[in-house]
Amino acid sequence: MIAYNLDYFKPETTQEAYECMKTLKEDKVNALYYSGGTEVITNLRKGAFKADAVIDLKGIGEMSEILVDDEYIVVGANVPLNVMIEHSELQSLKSILNKIADHTVRNALTIGGNICGKLPFREAVLPLLALNSLVKWVDENGINESLLRDVFDKRLKLPPNAFLYQIMIPRKVGGKMMSKRMEAHTEVDYPVLHVVMSVSDTEVFVGLSGFASFPVYQLIPRNEYDEWSDPVGSIAGLFEKDAKSDERASKEYRVHLLKNQIALFTGGAYDSL
Amino acid sequence: MNTKDGIGTSLTRKESLDKVSGRVIYGGDIMTPQMLYAAQKTSPHAHAKIIKIDTEKAKGMKGVKAIFTGDDYKDNLGLYLCDKPPVARNVVRHYGEVVAAVVADTYANATAAADAIAVEYEVMKPILSPLEALSDDAYIIHEEMGSYSHIKPIHPEPGTNVANRTKIRKGNPTEAFKSAHVTIETFVEIPPGDHVAMEPRVAIAEIKKTGYVHILSSTQAPFVVKGLMHQFFGIDPGKIIVKAPLIGGGFGGKAGIQLEGLAYLLSQKVGGRPVKLVNTREEDLTGSPGHIGLQAKVKIAADAEGKIMGMDMDYYFNSGAYADYAVNVSRAAAISCTGPYYVPNIRCDSMCVYTNMPFATAYRGFGHIEMSFAIERAMDELASALDMDPLELRIKNGVKPHDTTPVQSVLNESTGDIIKCFEEVGAMLGGNIGATQQLENNTVRVKGVSGLWKAPAMPTNTDAGAILTFNSDGSCNLNTGVVEIGQGTKTGLAQIVSERLGIPVDKVHVVMEVDTSVSPSDWATAASRGLMMAGMATLEACEDAENQIKEIASAVLRVPKRDLKVDGERVFVPDEPKIGLNLSEVVLGYVYPNGNAIYGQVIGSGKYIAKHLTDLDPETGEGHPDLEWTLGAEGVEIEVNLNTGKYKILKAVCCIDVGKVISPALARGQIVGGMAMGMGYTTMEGFTFNDRGQVTNGVLRDYKIMRYGDEPEYQVKFLETPQQDGPYGARGLGEQSVIGMPGAIANALSRAVGKGMNQIPMTPEKVWKTSMEVKR
């Protein structure tokens, strides 16, 4: 149990939420936004971090909705992964999202929480980056919009007290997206490597989660990619220095798994010796 | 005889509907008025002196009633060797060791106060393996070992880190090795780990003003708790009442004494009010004991035909910081040290060694799963050296009736047919065990087999009892001391009564809770002999009840007792069935038409005590500690991707000789459950440590166990060579199927990569690394 008291706020509008956080911070209160709560509740119990106040964003109704217009599928940051997985327009993301955590947890785990939480995996961000999605967030100026690629570097970089509002996923997809998730052993576990690779006419996207201490990605212009004689070596070379060793796998194994998988994606050669 | 739902039929367990509907009250659910709640503070260090514990802030916090530290109790507790204070005193010896406990009016207040206790440590270097603990200049973890009291069969070595050494000396091993055609040597390693039962441990203790001590605990051994509370705290045995409700899984982890002593001391500190002490999952994983680890060296000598001439082994069991059951685990492994093979010459030293790691208690397999891993890997190495099929080698050396065991006891006619078990396993796997099948994409399919055996390592006076009472409708109530830990023994015992007395099984009501003040004594629900021993006591109680029923009927019907039969809920004359009475008319005494009442209620009682057991000779190990042996064989088929090291166990098979299958579904459930546990143990479990001895996977998100989707296709076959002194010929089967899994899996993976895989857990990364070593 969380053995101490904290203040709980549940604003109903984006403005209310932002003002609430701003005021708490000005009063030097240690406050957090949260959405699904799967990370906040478990970590507050374990004592991995502390909070004096939590702001529950689930009171902001539109953040739990999925809207489809001509160009985008607009997903509110509070939408649980299982709802996304079951949505007819988001089937291309299904095979990536349904490997995160387990089914029961995904009933509560939200897309916003997965991207903005403290855990270093943030696997849901990979296909969103590959598809060149847009994000909307709330800050002092109200609702802002930008390309995800412009505000994501290891984690989502937003102004102080801002929070993620919606994600806009392009409906027209240019390239072919491939993904593979590998764990230390059993499937219900954090990834030691989750690789998403997307090849379109203009660019090649390779994004990795679980490989480094944060998600990493590279964009390669298509014509440059086509010139490579050793795609496996070249791609691995872009990421090798980021590989980490931890309880689940060594850096050598991660690099090996990456090369092995890129070889399978590209048909390129990889001799593990 | 009741053929409808007696032995041999599969029934829904009696408690299942309540379990799946959330209607069962487990220890942790209980809340009573006057109850106080305890929280624990644990050590982040593996080895440290406690310099100071500052409880000032905690004492003043809301709702706090008492704080308990090591200084509050000067003695040690212990099952076989008294080496453990209830909370750490002056020194912490493992990561997660409890250093203080707080009692408060709510669990939240107790936890908040525990957080506020400040402990100052002087960190010391931890010892993190048995071999390190045995090195010449190793730190002595228990300096006062010489003053620890212990039971006779345990031989601690003060001045060292050896809590117990069991020696097996049979025949002339030196000579055997000299004249052998081939010898091999293998070294294996297993880290300590945890049972991960679904229910974390709980103990509730209350001391009434009348002096009666009430303990409610998630224990597999309520009578052991009663006995030890008397021994440690001097309470009259008749004034200790221990209750065991339904338990959410034990696997041996709840078979000793753990939280009960501390709960009692906490209650004492608050004037005897009931105190509930429940482990968080993290405390249950590393604070309370887990399973033992092992480093082992095995040498086997064989002749040119593959007949084993001798074995020489050293088992260095990793007991962790305290000994608990571990001293008997290492002893049990010595008794069975060769695995189920006939070996005429043996030198074995089995040691229980202290380290600064979470400590070990009983676990499914009790030393046999660890010993079996070492022996079965060595057997495959021997097969390789002899260029012999691994199954053929085992068939050639499997034990038979009249062979002697490592302790030189003689296997009697009640010995299972392990040769047939091996043959069946071979058939279930499709033969050709030694072959590697190449598939595309650098993937191979391989098989591995192992033999298994186990005898329970129990005290020589292990016992069980049973009481039968009756109800007005002729149904009966069975009261035994067996705890329902999820193994379904209560239902199996009901089937035995149903079979014996001819009463439908839903009219045999089994008392679910054990209460030491009303249940007959029972050593412990452990060692896979609950059904066997309580079953024998139950049969005796049935016979006693039947005799009394016939006595009353004889008077009423004016027929000699010998002409009566009890069946179909009646007592009657078999060749003139109209002459008879319904059980309902008899079991609470008989009332004549004129009102006269005779005899009174039928109460059947039965008991069982193990016969002719002796302890081991301290120099040679000779003795007869083994009640009965269960033998079997296991095998797996695995598909391995040598590119990534990832593998899938496609098939897991087991053939085990159980004497008699009382309940097929229950029996298969136990076997499959044991195989699953053995698979998790081998492939993904075990604590991981950093170099400061801290456990780095002490939460279930990181400590991985088997999940749905990981399981293979299971095939189970039972043989029924009767156990002549078991109920209907049955012998123990609850835990044995865990034993052969590490060997079978490791043998298959070793075949896949072309090199010995001798370290548990066998992760895909290890498979990949080993196959890379071979390629280079």
**Which residues on chain B are in Cβ contact (under 8 Å) with A185?**
683-684, 704, 761, 763-764
CA gap B714, B569 in Å, rounded: 39
* Among candidates B645, B697, B704 on the partner chain, residue whose Cβ is nearest the Cβ of A186: B704
According to DSSP, the residues that pair with B275 across neighbouring strands are B36, B205
The pairing of beta strand B508-510 with beta strand B514-515? unpaired
Is pLDDT at B732 greater than 70 in this prediction? yes
Do strands B570-573 and B565-567 pair parallel, antiparallel, or not at all (unpaired)?
antiparallel
CB contact under 8 A, A185 and B644: no
Quote the CA–CA distance of B434 and B748 in Å, as a whole number: 9
Q: What is the mean pLDDT of chain B?
A: 94
Prediction pTM value: 0.94
Give the one of A185, A256, A260 whose C-beta lies nearest to B684's C-beta.
A185
State the DSSP code for A80: B
Verify whether the Cβ–Cβ distance B709 to A46 is below 8 Å: no
Mutate to test the interface with A, among B37, B41, B643 (most CBs of A within 10 A): B643
ipTM of the complex: 0.94
- The mean per-residue pLDDT over the stretch B97-108 comes to 97
At CB < 8 Å, which residues of chain B contact A?
A: 107-108, 111-112, 115, 643-646, 683-684, 688, 696-697, 699, 701-702, 704, 706-707, 709-710, 761, 763-765, 768-769, 772, 775-776
**Residue with the larger pLDDT of the pair B550 and A176:** B550
Q: How many other C-beta atoms can be found within 10 angstroms of the C-beta atom of residue B214?
A: 20
Least trusted range by pLDDT, from B469-483, B610-624, B693-707, B739-753: B610-624
- Shortest CB distance from B765 goes to which of A46, A188, A253? A253
User: Distance (Å, rounded) from C-alpha B683 to C-alpha B182?
Assistant: 31
- Alpha-carbon gap: A190 to the closest alpha carbon of chain B (Å): 9
**A169 to chain B, closest Cα gap in Å:** 31
Q: Could you give the angle at which helices A251-266 and A231-239 cross, rounded to 10 degrees?
A: 140
pLDDT digits (tens, 9 = 90+) for B217-252: 999 999 999 999 999 999 999 999 999 999 999 999
Q: What is the pLDDT of residues B321-348, one digit of tens each?
A: 999 899 999 999 999 999 999 999 999 9
Report the C-alpha gap between A142 and A165 in whole angstroms. 11
Query: What's residue B623's pLDDT?
Result: 83
H/E run at residue B20 = helix B16-20
Confidence check: pLDDT of A141 > 70: yes
Of B112, B684, B688, the CB nearest to A247: B688
d(CA B19, CA B26): 10
Q: What are phi and psi of A130, to 5 degrees?
A: -60, -40
Helix (H) or strand (E) holding B423: helix B418-428
User: Taking CB atoms and an 8 Å cutoff, what residues of chain B touch A247?
Assistant: 688, 696-697, 702
Q: Which residues pair with B278 in a beta bridge?
A: B202
Distance from CA of A146 to the nearest CA of B (A): 35
For residue B682, give the chain A residue with the closest CA. Answer: A185
pLDDT in the model for residue A269: 85
pLDDT, tens digit (0-9, with 9 covering 90-100), for B24-68: 999 999 999 999 999 999 999 999 999 999 999 999 999 999 999
Identify all chain A residues contacting B41, using CB atoms and an 8 Å cutoff. Answer: none
- What is the rounded CA–CA span in Å between residue B474 and residue B453? 42
Cβ contacts (< 8 Å) between B769 and chain A: which residues? 253
Does the distance separating the beta carbons of A272 and B643 come in below 8 Å?
yes
Residue B704 to residue A189, Cβ atoms within 8 A: yes
pLDDT for B3 beyond 60: no
Confidence at residue B1, expressed as pLDDT on a 0 to 100 scale: 47
Q: Which string of DSSP letters, residue by residue, matches A160-188?
A: TT-EEEEEEEESS--SEEEEEEEESSSSS
With tokens 């119990």, the residue in question is A45
d(CA B616, CA B350): 13
DSSP 8-state code for residue B549:
H
Closest-CA residue of chain B to A251: B765
Task: List domains and CATH numbers for chain A.
Answer: 7-56 (3.30.43.10), 63-170 (3.30.465.10), 176-266 (3.30.390.50)
Task: Name the strand (E) or helix (H) holding B65.
Answer: strand B64-69
Q: What is the tens place of the pLDDT at every residue in B354-402? A: 999 999 999 999 999 999 999 999 999 999 999 999 999 999 999 999 9
* Local structure of A69: helix, strand or coil: coil
Per DSSP, helices labelled H in B558-692 are: 664-683
**Rounded distance, CA A44 to CA A5, Å?**
11
Q: Residues near B155 by Cβ (< 8 Å), separated by ≥ 6?
A: B164, B165, B166, B618
A189: nearest CA partner in chain B: B701
Closest chain A residue to B768, measured at CA = A253
Residue among B683, B688, B765 whose CB faces A249 most closely: B765
CB contact under 8 A, B115 and A188: no
Q: What is the pLDDT of residues B560-600, one digit of tens each?
A: 999 999 999 999 999 999 999 999 999 999 999 999 999 99
Instruction: Please identify which residue in the block is written with the tokens 């990561």.
Output: B95
pLDDT in tens, B502-535: 999 999 999 999 999 999 999 888 877 888 889 9
- CB pairs < 8 Å spanning A and B: 57
- Which single residue is written with the structure tokens 């764990």? A183
Cβ contact, residue pair B108, A1, below 8 Å: yes
| More reliable by pLDDT, A188 or B459 | A188
Q: Which residue has the higher pLDDT, B477 or B708?
A: B477
Task: Select the residue from A185, A246, A258 to test the B interface by mutation, using most B Cβ atoms within 10 A.
Answer: A185
- In this model, does residue A273 exceed pLDDT 70? no
pLDDT tier at A175 (50, 70, 90 boundaries)?
confident
Four-residue CA torsion sign, B642, B645, B646, B651: positive
